[in-house]
Amino acid sequence: MPRLVYLNGKFLPDVEAHISIFDRGFLFSDAVYEVTAVIDKKLVSWEGHLNRLRYSLKELNIDFTKTNDELLSIHRKLIEQNNITEGLVYLQISRGKAERDFAFPISEVEPTIVLFTQQKKIINNQKLLSGAKVISCPDLRWGRADIKTVQLLYASMMKQKALDIGKDDVWFVKNNFITEGSSNNTFILSKNGTLITNSLSPQILPGITRKSILEYSKNSDLIVKEKPFTIEDIKDAREAFSCSSTTFILPVVEIDDCKIGDGCPGEHTLRLRRLYINNVKKELI
Ligand code: PDD
């Protein structure tokens, strides 16, 4: 059965969904996106994704008129029609179709809106058993990583570089500090029991999973700090993990061929993951 997708007001089989070659998302990466996890056929942290979507649209001055309720009902219909029990919904909004010009179009253009679903095992992620191995690399992305744009080529190139040498992911470094992962935020647990994640700035995406983890861990026995950390801090840490909507919390056991802690997924990381899943399950939409 073909996958049902959404394009500009219509639900269509994926093979029938076509976008203009003049779309600014295609020509200039002039588009923003969100990826929302689905578990038990329901959306995870929906409000957070909506708020960030509105922020990204505002920062790029994309005039988008659909309401939050309309967006929610499109998400729900796609989950239902594609029978997604666990996976994700991808949403992308570009400025729309216009004659190619670096300046934004003067006349009014309709944004292009696309949604599709993907099945994915999020809860029983195979990488949980071994943990992920990452490499570091310079963060050469543009300076507004806080906007969730589809301009992802550098992250994609570096992820491939990691895979090509048998690793799982890349953590970016700027001015000696880790900014974030290729498509995730990063945490370490120091030997004295402090959970540390980089503070928010234009250099990182304000992750929805990151935000929930910070909230849920307030009630744990861990001290939580939002501040930058270095590769040396990671090598000296007890545990490390990355987090995103498509992995939740994923233990990281090695950076640049150096074991983190005992080189196995950390017990606090796995406990935080359970805490995270229990909590988000109470707030599914
Ligand atoms: N990526 N940082 C970057 C650069 C990301 O691309 C993502 C998410 C995150 C984590 O954000 P959140 O917790 O809101 O998913 C951090 C998604 C999953 C993607 O591009 O597929």
What CATH number does residue 141 fall under? 3.20.10.10
Token pair for 86: 């666990």
Q: Are residues 92 and 217 in the same domain?
A: no
Dihedral of CA atoms 153, 156, 161, 162 in degrees, nearest 10, equals 150
Helix residue ranges per DSSP H, 123-177: 127-130, 153-164
Q: Note whether 135 and 209 are same-domain residues.
A: yes
Residues 112, 152, single domain; the answer is no
| Mode of pairing for the β-strands spanning 258-259 and 132-138 | unpaired
The helix (H) or strand (E) run that includes residue 59 is helix 46-59
pLDDT one-digit tens code per residue, 243-263: 999 999 999 999 999 999 999
Nearest to residue 283, comparing CAs of 46, 41, 86? 46
Whether residues 52 and 99 share a domain: the answer is yes
Widest Cα–Cα separation across the chain: 59
Contact 172, 180 (CB under 8 A): yes
What's the pLDDT tens digit per position in 71-97?
A: 999 999 999 999 999 999 999 999 999
The residue assigned the tokens 């805490």 is: 275
Q: Indicate which CATH number applies to the domain containing 95.
A: 3.30.470.10
Position 11 pLDDT exceeds 80: yes
* Domain match, 115 and 135 both: no
**SS3 of the chain: helix, strand, coil, percent, to 5:** 30, 30, 40
- Give per-residue burial for 62-74: e unless 16+ CB within 10 Å, then b: bebeeeeeebeeb
Which atom of ligand 1 is the closest one to the Cα of 210?
A: 13
pLDDT recorded at residue 251: 98
112 and 188 belong to one structural domain:
no
Domain boundary among 99, 119, 139: 119
> Which residues span the domain enclosing 178?
127-281
**CA dist., res. 151 & res. 137, Å (int):** 18
Residue 40: predicted pLDDT:
98
Query: Among 84, 119, 154, which residue terminates a domain?
Result: 119
pLDDT tens string 158-216: 999 999 999 999 999 999 999 999 999 999 999 999 999 999 999 999 999 999 999 99
pLDDT at 113 (0 to 100): 98
Q: Does residue 105 carry a pLDDT above 80?
A: yes
- What is the C-alpha to C-alpha distance for residues 247 and 35, in angstroms, rounded to an integer? 11
Name which residue sits closest to atom 1 of ligand 1, judged by CA: 183
Q: How far is the CA of 268 from the centre of ligand 1 (A)?
A: 22
User: Distance (Å, rounded) from C-alpha 4 to C-alpha 11?
Assistant: 6
Site to probe by mutation for ligand 1, drawn from 56, 243, 245 as the one with most ligand atoms within 8 Å of Cβ, is 245
Ligand 1 center–CA 159 separation, angstroms = 13
DSSP state of 97: B
**Threshold 0.95, pTM exceeds:** yes
Mean pLDDT, residues 1-16 taken together:
96
CA 183 to centroid of ligand 1, rounded, Å: 5
Report pLDDT for 2.
Answer: 87
Cβ of 198: how many Cβ atoms within 10 Å?
21
148 is catalytic: yes
pLDDT score for 199: 98
Q: What is the pLDDT of residue 221?
A: 87
Band (13; pLDDT cuts 50, 70, 90): very high
**CB within 6 Å of ligand 1 — which residues?**
35, 180, 183-185, 205, 207-210, 243-246
User: Residue 1: pLDDT above 80?
Assistant: no
Q: Are 92 and 136 part of one and the same domain? A: no
Average pLDDT, the chain: 97
**Residues making up the chain, counted from first to last:** 285
pLDDT of residue 167: 98
- Give residue 219's pLDDT: 83
Whether residues 92 and 67 share a domain: the answer is yes
Is residue 220 predicted with pLDDT exceeding 90?
no
Interval between CA 242 and ligand 1 midpoint (Å): 10
pLDDT of residue 103: 98
Residue tagged active-site, from 42, 97, 133, 148: 148
Closest CA to 203 of 274, 142, 123, 125: 142
| Amino acid code (one letter) for 271 | R
Residue whose CB lies within 8 A of the most ligand 1 atoms, among 38, 185, 203, for a mutation test: 185
